[in-house]
Chain A
Amino acid sequence: MGKIKLTSVDFAGTKEQEAELRKMLKELKGTDGALMPALQKAQGIYGYLPIEVQKIVSEELGVPLEKIFGVVTFYTQFLLNPNGKYDISVCLGTACYVKGAGDVIEKIQNRLDISPGDCTSDLKFSLNATRCIGCCGLAPVMTINGEVFGKVKADEVDAILDKFKD
Chain B
Amino acid sequence: MKKTISDINKIKEDLKLPMSIRKGARVVNETIGSEKFMRTVLVCGSTGCASSHSVKIYEKFKQLVHDNKMDDQINIVKTGCFGRCASGPIVMVYPEGSFYSQIKPEYVEEIFNEHLVKGNRVDKYLHHEQRDNPEIKNLYDVSFYKKQKKIALRNCGVIDPENIDEYIALDGYQALIKCLTRLKPQEVIDIVKESGLRGRGGGGFPTGNKWQFAKNAEGKIKYVCCNADEGDPGAFMDRSILEGDPNSVIEAMTIAGYAVGSNQGYVYIRAEYPVAIQRLQTAIAQARDYGLLGSNILGSGFDFDIDLRYGAGAFVCGEETALMTSIEGNRGEPRPRPPFPAIKGLFGKPTLLNNVETYANIPEIINRGSEWFSKMGTEKSKGTKVFALCGKTNDTGLVEIPMGTTLREIVEEIGGGIPNGRKFKAAQTGGPSGGCIPAQLIDTPIDYDNLIQIGSMMGSGGLIVMDEDNCMVDIAKFFLEFTVEESCGKCTPCRVGTKRLLEMLTKITEGRGTLEDLDKMEELCYYIKNNSLCGLGQTAPNPVISTLRYFRSEYEAHVVDKKCPAGVCKKLVTYRITDRCIGCSLCSRNCPVNAITGKIKERFTIDTSKCIKCGACMSACKFKAIVKE
Q: B-contacting residues of A (Cβ < 8 Å)?
A: 1, 32-37, 39-40, 63, 67, 70-71, 74-78, 94-96, 98-99, 132, 136-137, 139
Contacts and interface: CB of A to CB of B under 8 A. Distances in A.
B616 A95 contact: yes
6 contacts: A1-B485, A40-B271, A67-B330, A74-B314, A75-B313, A77-B312
For the residues of A in contact with B, the DSSP-based class is helix
A94 B332 contact: no
Nearest to B270: A77
A40 B312 CA distance: 8
Contacts of A37: 309-310
Given A75-B311, A75-B313, A137-B620, 16 more contacts: A1-B485, A1-B489, A32-B347, A33-B347, A37-B309, A37-B310, A71-B330, A74-B333, A77-B272, A77-B313, A94-B614, A95-B612, A99-B592, A132-B614, A137-B619, A139-B614
B326 interface: yes
B515 interface: no
B329 interface: yes
A137 B486 CA distance: 32
Interface of B: 271-272, 309-314, 326-333, 347, 485-489, 590, 592-593, 612, 614-616, 619-620
Contacts of B590: 137
B620 A33 contact: no
B592 A139 contact: yes
Contacts of A96: 592
B612 A35 contact: no
A71 B326 CA distance: 9
Contacts of A98: 592-593, 612
Contact of A76 (B312, B326, B619): B312
A89 B369 CA distance: 56
Contacts of B488: 1, 74
Contact of B312 (A34, A78, A95): A78
A95 B271 contact: no
Nearest to B347: A32
A74 B327 contact: no
B616 A74 contact: no
B329 A71 contact: yes
A75 B614 CA distance: 34
Contacts of A35: 329-330
Contact of B329 (A34, A78, A95, A139): A34
Contacts of B326: 36
B234 to A, nearest CB: 18
Contacts of B271: 40, 77
Given A35-B329, A74-B331, A74-B488, A137 B314 contact: no
* Most chain A CB inside 10 Å of its own CB: which residue of B327, B331, B485: B331
Across chains A and B, which 5 residue pairs bring their CB atoms closest together, nearest first?
A35-B329, A136-B614, A75-B312, A76-B313, A77-B312
Given A74-B331, A98-B592, A136-B592, A33 B309 contact: yes
